[in-house]
Every structure is written in C-alpha cells, then in structure tokens.
Structure 1
Amino acid sequence: MLQAQLEDGRLILLAAHQREQIHNFRKRRFLCPACRKSVIIRAGKKVIPHFAHEQIHDCELDGTGESLYHMRGKLQLFYWLKKQGYAVKLEECVKESARRPDLLLHAPSGRELAIEYQCASISDEELLRRNEAYERNGIIPIWILGGNRLKRTSTYMLDLPKREQRFLMQHKQSMPLQLLYYCSNTETLCNVQHILLTGKKQTIGQFFFRPLQRLRFPQLFHTLPKKLLEINQAWHSIQARAIAKPLTFASAPIKRWVTRLYDNGLLLQDIPLYILQPVESQYQMSVPPYIWQTDLWLEQLDHIPVMESVSLNRLVYVCRKWEVNTNPFAISSNKHPVESYMQRLCQHGWFDQIDSETFVKKKGLSLF
C-alpha cells in the first residue's frame, strides 16, 4: 500500500517524502487504513516507498499483490490529477463498502469517480463486485488497463480476448466504444476508440497515443477522429480471412454453423461480404458476426419479398440463441446488435427503416 495511518489518524503518503523524512518515519508506528493492523515501511533505491503488513493475514490491501509497475503508475496518475486541480485520494475507502479504488476523484460537479489502474488479471466475480459496489454508492468506475496488457498486432488491430472485453467503456451514448491503457514506464496513455469486435480475440480499433502530461482528464472521454476507410478495410479483411479459414481447428458452434450452410447448399466462399456489416454492439453476441448475420439472412432476410416489411422483434428473436448472458459494465447503450445491423443495411440502401420497429426491404440480395 502507498499510504498508511499514524496512530493520531494522519494518512502518510510515503512516496511524497524525502529519504531523510522516511528514515525518521521508521521510528513511528503505522497502521493499515483497512484492517488497523501494524504495517512497516519498505523503501530502497529500487522500490517505490510503500507500506507492508508485518504479518501475512486476510486484509484487502495486503492481498492486492501490487507490482512496481502498478504502484508507479498509480502515483503518476494521482499526481497528474492533482496537478490539474482535482480533489483526488489514494486508496480511499468507499462509504458503506470495503472497496478501496486506486484513486477516488471528487469531481467539481459533485460526482465521484473510482479510477482503477488494472495491470493484472481479475476474475469476473471480483470485477462485478467492485462495479456493483461503486454503482450502489453513486460512483462512476473508470478502468485504465496497464500498458502491459495492450496486445497490438498491426496498425488497426489488437488481440482482445473475452476477458479483456469486460473493460470496454461507453460513458455517453454519443461516444464510440473505448479502452484506456496507461504505461507507467513511458508515461504514455493510449486511448483505443472506434472498436469493432470480430467475435474472436482479434479486434479492430484506432489507437491514439499521448504523453500523460500533455493530456487533461476530460480529454479521455472525447470522441477522437475516425479513419473510416481504413477501419472498414481492416474489418472486411478480417471477415474475408475468417470465411476462407480451414475448419480443422474450428470450435463446435462454428462447425455446426458450417454444416448448416452445407445443408442449405452453400459453401463458406458463397457468403457475400456485402451482407456482413460491422456493429459496435457485437460484444452482446457469443459468436463472430459472420455466423449470426448469415443465420439472420438464411432464417429471415433472404425470404422477405422486395417492398415487404419485417419487425425488429422478429429479427431479434432469430438471434436470441447467440446472445451472451453478461455485457461490459460501463456501457450506456442498450441497442441490440440486430438493430445496429439493420440500420447499417439501411445506410447501404438495402432496407428502409419506417419506424423504431419496422424495416422494409428495398432490393433483393439472394444468397443463392
């Protein structure tokens, strides 16, 4: 832990003091803010000055397993926010909860934000418990992942397994999906926006790298310029490769889907790319887009005569079997992927949207 209490109740942030002061602090008794047990000072040339329990026992702050990378980043973010005039506390306990976020920011608007700098993996259960605790107290959780977790594979692609997709954020419906990464070694923040999930870990996104000291906190939640052509090209490239990929190591759901295509007299290569459209809300689906979108065409869209209508509820029902049970916590939009998909088809002139629930087919696009 970065700070501890003196017996008189004062909180001491050890890293904010000079070496001589730290030496003098060794003569004092410090207590853990969470469990009130004695803690000792750990300081040296190769470590950030911090506190540790004298004995290993069950304490929230003792079980965090903080690395030097994490502690350094947490301090850098703390001083960055302080420099901008924000009222921010390190490891402060949330009222009516045992939760202690890395940083608790008291915004001028009166809202509180819990900023978690997450450099290590965390279970689904623990992530849910933290987010629910913050929500009960009216606190907005902001997750900033360690730069050590960013797996960029090309200019517009990164590997984002399901476990990492839980940290997707969209605090305003007008914003695109985003992920925040911070590297404490280089003091650089990466804002990944305009994210398109492919259903596998390979994901499309636009990367914006900025030195932390050149950023203001509100800028983290501004929509950044989108390179639409490049993003779409990357997405179509992934879809084309996915369809042409051998099935030797494919999962059982994909093999069942391919078998269904064969039963309908189709080969993978017969799937036209123009019926596959990227949607940001793909995180709600358990299978890649090319599975549920071609399934939707086989079940419904391909059979609708031109100029006839179809209801959104009917289309959503067809895709219910592909939905996941839980979605990322920090996303404000509840738009179903099928709705987003149909609106994409409308943009390309294949359907017209009459009202919020009705679409009319404008032209035929048979799969056969």
Structure 2
Amino acid sequence: MLTAQQQDGTQICTLHYSREQLRTRRTEQFYCRDCQAAVTLKIGRKNIPHFAHKSVHCHQFSSERESPTHLAGKAALYSFFQQHCHDVQLEMYIQQIAQRPDVLIDQTYAIEFQCSTIPLSFIEQRTDGYISANYIPIWILHAKHTALGWNVLSLTQFEQYFFQDAHAYPYLLLFQPEQQMFYYYTSCIQVSKTKFLCYVQQIPLQAQTFPFYTPAAIPLAIYLETIDTQRQHRERYLEHSRRFNTQGVHHRILRLAYDHFGGVAYTPFYIGVYIPNAFCFNMHPFDWQLLFVVWRKLHRHAHYDEFQQWSQLAMFTPIQYQVLEQYEQILQTPNLASLSYEQLFTYIHCEIVAQ
C-alpha cells in the first residue's frame, strides 16, 4: 500500500516524497490505517516505495500482497484522477462497508485496478458493497494483450465478467502502467466459449478523459469484414468436435446434430452466430443455439423455462432470456435458410446489434 499512519495519527503517502526523503524516515514507526498493525516502509530500486505489513495480510482484509504492477497502476491512476477531479483519495477506508478502493473520487466513484484473478464471488461482494454505500464501482483490468487492431483474444470467464456495453458490443477497459497507456478491447464478438474477435485500441494516459471514453459502434461495413473470421472459427470448432469426440453417441450435441441434420457438418449456418451478450451462457455459441433450434423444432409453442429444463442448462438469468429472445428473432427471419452469410449478418447488425 502507498499510504500509512504515523504515531501521531497523521497520514503519509509515499507518492508525496522522493526516495531520498523517504530513506531519512526509515527509522520511524508506521501503522496500517485500517487494522493499526505495524507496517514496514520499503524503498527498493525498481518498485514504487510502499508500505507492507510485517505479517502476511492486513488483519482487516483478506487481500494478497500487492504486486509491483498493481502499485504502479494505482499510483498512475491516482495522479490521473487528481488532474481531472476535485476530491481524490488514495486507499481510503470506507468504514460503512469495510472496504478500501484503490482510489475514491468525489465521494462518488470507487476505482479498483485489478491485476490478478480472484474468485468472482469476491468481486461481486465488493461491487455490491460499493453500490450499497452509494458508490459507483469502476473496475479496470491490467492490459495483457497490446497488439492493436483486430485480434482473436482468449478471455477467461473472470475477464468476461468485466465486460461493459457499448452499442450492443461488449468492451473491456484496461490499463498498462508500464506504458502509461489505457487499452480498450472493443467490438468484442464471441467466436468460441472463451475466444473473442476484438478491436484493440489504445489511449495514452495523458489523453484519456473522465468520465472515461466510450468506444463508438463499428459501422456495418466493418462488421461484415468479420464474417470470414467468425465462419472459420465456427467450422474449426465443428471439425474439432467431430474428430476428437470421446463420448461417441453419448455426446448430446453431436447426437442432436446427427438426428436432426445428418451431422454437425450439415447444420444450418445460422446456428453458431454472434448474439450480443451470449457469452453469459459460458459455452460455445453453437452448442446452446443448436439446443435451442432443436427444442423449437420439437416444442414450437413452449416457454423458455421449459427449454431450460429440456436443455438441462442452469436457471436462466434476465440477460439470458434477452439473448434467447434475440436469437428467436433471427430464427423468424423470412426465408432464413436461403439467405447468404452477408445477408444474415446484415440483418443481425441492423435489427439486433444496432437497435
């Protein structure tokens, strides 16, 4: 951590002093502002000077030791917000919810720079805590993929949790403290369970604004350029499923594809297409869409809850119901089977994505 309490109760922040000034204070006693345990002032050659508990953890929190990346990112973000906001507090403990955001802004925004993967239940708990105390939580991830332009990126379920919506395309806000650069993974189009076709943009720290820049929607012409990539990933997945199946006739997806279409190679091209927020199913788009198409074929007038029971998927969330409604809208497209890829994707973009 970058802040601590002195013996007389005043606070000290390492960012306000040079290394030389801090070295002269090494013999002083410093304490954690939250649990009051003694902390050590660390002044290395590479890492930002900071305080560390003499024990492994803060008695008030169950958080891990901070990495050099997290310390550097927190310091850079604190400096950034000081230039754009009035009331900026670093590592301020919120007694009401027993939480300490990295940066607190104008008593309104709680900023968290997340560098490591931790249980989502912990993220949800902290998010709910901020909201209950009338703070707006903003989570910023550490940028790992920095190649600009279109990229197919593997994003874990943990990373997908932080998707934000912009014109029906999810995006991620990330920061790279070593480069002093914000990154955006924008227009994220799901092509497998964990892979997304993303357009990677960067904004230098000094050029960023607050509230943060929101990515613009990609135009139809750009969206249509992704058709080949989406189709290739779909075909690759189907080939992999067919060749490396170890369950034989007990593989439900392959069995349904064979019984109703003669095999996965003959399934309609509208099974496995991009639907906004479909990553919420945490499975390949082809799998849940095949289940839905077959179920609709067998139960034309049944409710989505019956689909949930028939498909043996987990109980649906509101966003999953919305995704199912959007996909059913696609299935009701006139002359669907005779459309070309370009015609179908144009319909999806104009009637669903751009709405």
Settle same-fold status: TM greater than 0.5. Answer: yes
Is the aligned partner of 1:201 residue 2:194? yes
- 314, 318, 338: which is aligned to 2:303? 314
Is the aligned partner of 1:216 residue 2:209? yes
Is the aligned partner of 1:339 residue 2:322? no
- CA shift, 1:284, in A, is 2.6
2:342 is matched with which residue?
none
Q: Cα deviations across residues 162-185 of structure 1 (Å, max 9, x unaligned)?
A: 232222223x7x563221121111
Contact 2:277 2:323 in 1 (8 A): yes
- CA shift, 1:158, in A, is 0.5
- Runs of 5+ unmatched residues, structure 1: 305-309, 352-368
Structure that is richer in helix per residue: 2
Q: Cα deviations across residues 88-132 of structure 1 (Å, max 9, x unaligned)?
A: 2221112412211112222xxxx6222111111101222222122
1:274 is matched with which residue?
270
- The separation in 1 between residues aligned to 2:246 and 2:157, in whole angstroms, is 15
Aligned length: 333
1:230 is matched with which residue?
225
For 1:8, the aligned partner's letter is D
Residues 62 and 90 (structure 1), Cα distance of their counterparts in 2 relative to 1, 3 Å cut: farther
- The separation in 1 between residues aligned to 2:234 and 2:174, in whole angstroms, is 27
2:11 is matched with which residue?
11
For 1:133, the aligned partner's letter is G
Identity value in percent: 25
Q: Matches of residues 81-120 of structure 1 in structure 2 within 5 Å?
A: 81-106=81-106, 112-120=108-116
Aligned Cα root-mean-square deviation (Å):
3.2
- The separation in 1 between residues aligned to 2:205 and 2:332, in whole angstroms, is 41
- CA shift, 1:269, in A, is 0.9
1:366 is matched with which residue?
none
Residues 298 and 333 (structure 1), Cα distance of their counterparts in 2 relative to 1, 3 Å cut: closer
Residues 72 and 290 (structure 1), Cα distance of their counterparts in 2 relative to 1, 3 Å cut: same
2:135 is matched with which residue?
139
- The separation in 1 between residues aligned to 2:242 and 2:121, in whole angstroms, is 34
Residues 65 and 155 (structure 1), Cα distance of their counterparts in 2 relative to 1, 3 Å cut: same
* TM-score normalised by the chain length of structure 1: 0.79
- The separation in 2 between residues aligned to 1:251 and 1:130, in whole angstroms, is 41
- The separation in 2 between residues aligned to 1:96 and 1:251, in whole angstroms, is 53
Q: Matches of residues 242-253 of structure 1 in structure 2 within 5 Å?
A: 242-250=237-245
1:354 is matched with which residue?
none
Is the aligned partner of 1:160 residue 2:149? no
Is the aligned partner of 1:2 residue 2:2? yes
2:344 is matched with which residue?
none
- The separation in 1 between residues aligned to 2:204 and 2:148, in whole angstroms, is 21
- The separation in 1 between residues aligned to 2:32 and 2:162, in whole angstroms, is 30
* TM-score normalised by the chain length of structure 2: 0.81
1:259 is matched with which residue?
255
- The separation in 1 between residues aligned to 2:139 and 2:246, in whole angstroms, is 31
- CA shift, 1:343, in A, is 3.4
Q: Matches of residues 339-358 of structure 1 in structure 2 within 5 Å?
A: 339-345=325-331, 350=336
Q: Matches of residues 52-71 of structure 1 in structure 2 within 5 Å?
A: 52-56=52-56, 58-60=58-60, 63-71=63-71
- The separation in 1 between residues aligned to 2:225 and 2:79, in whole angstroms, is 37
Specify the SS of the correspondent of 1:116.
strand
- Runs of 5+ unmatched residues, structure 2: 338-355
- The separation in 2 between residues aligned to 1:316 and 1:198, in whole angstroms, is 26
